[in-house]
Structure 1
């Protein structure tokens, strides 16, 4: 994804720096806002990947298997957001390349209509990009679930714009070179990945720069993903790092299934065969929130909020802020670990979670004779979470 983002950034820079053609048209001036729209999205995607990297680095150093897996799961929503955000940016690049080709090769095409078309496409993408940029697990999950249908709409928009431009070129009696230039742009991603040429009657394929190239799984006549990608996705799904709906949506999009995407649609048979016959694969289909295992159960701060400054002095800042270490517990379980739900009375009970975990951490510091490191705290917390049967499925909670 970092490589894809670099490529997208380079394209924005290239399009912004291209001089105007003989007719004075280019993707600058009134069209600059569309270049800026794409460039502005890159920043949060880089941040999401950087945050995911921070969690994976912390996981490799914590020294506790369960906590390691919990930290990796925290990287999951950020990876999903960056994955689908990058796919949308790659699609936006396809639209901008096409618009650039139209401006340069079709002087009789309406600039005002092209501006309006791009505005409409941007409006289709904006809500999903906003949800992805929030990095909120539930909003990211909902955005991933809606992605196949969105890519279907974008594909039809792209195909319509391409066909209308070709018709205008023919009516205007333009030379064959202009037609070839337009065709080159609309096929550039497919040609780059050496995939079979899309028949003239089929919609163009968007954003396929993210599709792996060699050793892939076939779905119909198209290469979907590499066998290595499928195996990695299977492991991440089994570990709970990448959600089943997100994995399914990604495969549907890369398999060219977006124009027929429906709720509860199964994976392409070729991918299902490659993944193997397992419960995870049999369940890997687009589902709603309930099917994704999402719950509205209360969130519990594993690291007590009233001791926020204590934890900050020991490294829990930024991506590793204590608000990231929340778990969803059923109401009865949540009340039980807090002494019956009344926190004032609960603090009197030695086994109350917040009191117990702080006592344990302070004792650990006394034994160590120094301030605990972040990894040392997480290792100690993991031990007590197992004792209290608290799952290490962390989610972001409320802030200050």
Structure 2
């Protein structure tokens, strides 16, 4: 098979994996949103309290999180569609990697939001079925849990690569703390109900919430397909399905994650966190932990893949590296007239570069002198774009602009690992 066709097939599989990941998170988020809606629409009891009035702020908190998660998934979908229309394979891969922070943020944000719904449902069951329980204590408990989640949600909602990655890696430890909080609130409510002589039906109502809690069956959800187990006893069965002794996820999920990891869309540490949470290992997670080597191999981990994610990170010594706008900022309006708006704003097309490399492509440390050098990046790229437009006799499309920019990035050895930069 010709190399170009192989690249196209690989791009198509990566694109399908991104869309599958988006669809999976979107389905989970839809279920969480429906649960929030049911809680908000539940009529208040004749006797007792409900999640209305002073507790409404906690319902609103959940709804506000849904808004940014939907936006992140919508943005990731739009970027994937643009990537499918770009003819240059390297640029397509670069655009697909841009979906990573958005997809990862929505993935872990949805998990946290589902956990928040667990606490709301538990609080609702206590308020409606336990007159002897302190309403003030329920309010304070929810406030404490919200504060526990707030830093992670803030990092995830930023959709910044470094912040999202840090939040994902720390998620097993956070889920462990949330699990302990949930169990403590549940245990105290049960004890209070027993002391108050509550009827069996009321106790069962609170027990039911604990039984179906997301904290007991975390991501990833298991589709109706042949399972794959990831654990210490990791082996490959004769039918191609992975089996082991510790935890089970679907073979399709593993393949989807393998594609996303190898393409640099999602990192192995982030996938590790999702698998550890799903495996119920959060209770003993006192610090971020890694997966067994066999699992990392199954997901496609390698030094090259890790290098993709290290680019631009403090761990790789690049925290001070300048962010280079590959689409020159001084020509922002020119690019906007050619479709670079919203998710495709030129501020999304920045790359971290070593300071020497960054200065070299701009003709040295003095940008004014650099602009006089024909090979200076901004002069070169605008000259190439304007000449292409003159030859075409019409305004260039966004995809043609990206193709020309991609060709010049390769010539200047600029990596297509895009990261958002500062705008005007």
TM above 0.5: yes
1:115 equivalent in structure 2: 139
Contact 1:301 1:326 in 2 (8 A): yes
The range that moved more, 362-371 or 7-16, is 7-16
2:359 equivalent in structure 1: 335
Matches within 5 A, 1:31-110: 31-110=55-134
Structure 2 CA distance, aligned partners of 1:280 and 1:260? 31
- Change in Cα spacing, 1:273 to 1:364, as seen in structure 2 (3 Å) is closer
The range that moved more, 173-182 or 23-32, is 173-182
The range that moved more, 300-309 or 145-154, is 145-154
Matches within 5 A, 1:214-233: 214=224, 215-218=226-229, 223-233=247-257
2:10 equivalent in structure 1: none
How far is 1:14 from its partner? 0.9
How far is 1:113 from its partner? 0.4
CA offsets per residue over residues 128-166 of structure 1, 9 Å max, x none? 111111112122122112211111111100010111111
- Change in Cα spacing, 1:23 to 1:159, as seen in structure 2 (3 Å) is same
1:198 equivalent in structure 2: none
Q: Which runs of 5+ in 1 are unaligned?
A: 191-203, 284-288
Aligned partner of residue 16 in structure 1, secondary structure: helix
- Change in Cα spacing, 1:257 to 1:281, as seen in structure 2 (3 Å) is farther
Contact 1:217 1:274 in 2 (8 A): no
Aligned partner of residue 267 in structure 1, secondary structure: coil
TM-score (norm 2): 0.85
Matches within 5 A, 1:1-400: 1-189=25-213, 205=216, 208=218, 210-214=220-224, 215-218=226-229, 223-263=247-287, 265-267=289-291, 271-272=295-296, 275=299, 290=314, 295-400=319-424
The range that moved more, 252-261 or 80-89, is 252-261
| Aligned residue-pair number | 385
Contact 2:99 2:265 in 1 (8 A): yes
Structure 1 CA distance, aligned partners of 2:212 and 2:145? 20
Aligned partner of residue 150 in structure 1, secondary structure: helix
The range that moved more, 140-149 or 388-397, is 140-149
2:310 equivalent in structure 1: none
CA offsets per residue over residues 70-123 of structure 1, 9 Å max, x none? 000111001111111111100001111111111122111111101100000001
Structure 2 CA distance, aligned partners of 1:179 and 1:71? 52
Structure 1 CA distance, aligned partners of 2:133 and 2:256? 46
Contact 2:255 2:299 in 1 (8 A): yes
Aligned partner of residue 265 in structure 1, secondary structure: coil
Structure 1 CA distance, aligned partners of 2:227 and 2:296? 13
Contact 2:161 2:419 in 1 (8 A): yes
- Change in Cα spacing, 1:176 to 1:223, as seen in structure 2 (3 Å) is farther
Structure 2 CA distance, aligned partners of 1:276 and 1:354? 37
Contact 1:218 1:271 in 2 (8 A): no
The range that moved more, 177-186 or 384-393, is 177-186
- Change in Cα spacing, 1:60 to 1:281, as seen in structure 2 (3 Å) is closer
Contact 2:261 2:300 in 1 (8 A): no
Contact 1:227 1:274 in 2 (8 A): no
Q: Over aligned residues, Cα RMSD in angstroms?
A: 2.6
CA offsets per residue over residues 57-76 of structure 1, 9 Å max, x none? 11000110000000001110
Aligned partner of residue 258 in structure 1, secondary structure: coil
The range that moved more, 175-184 or 377-386, is 175-184
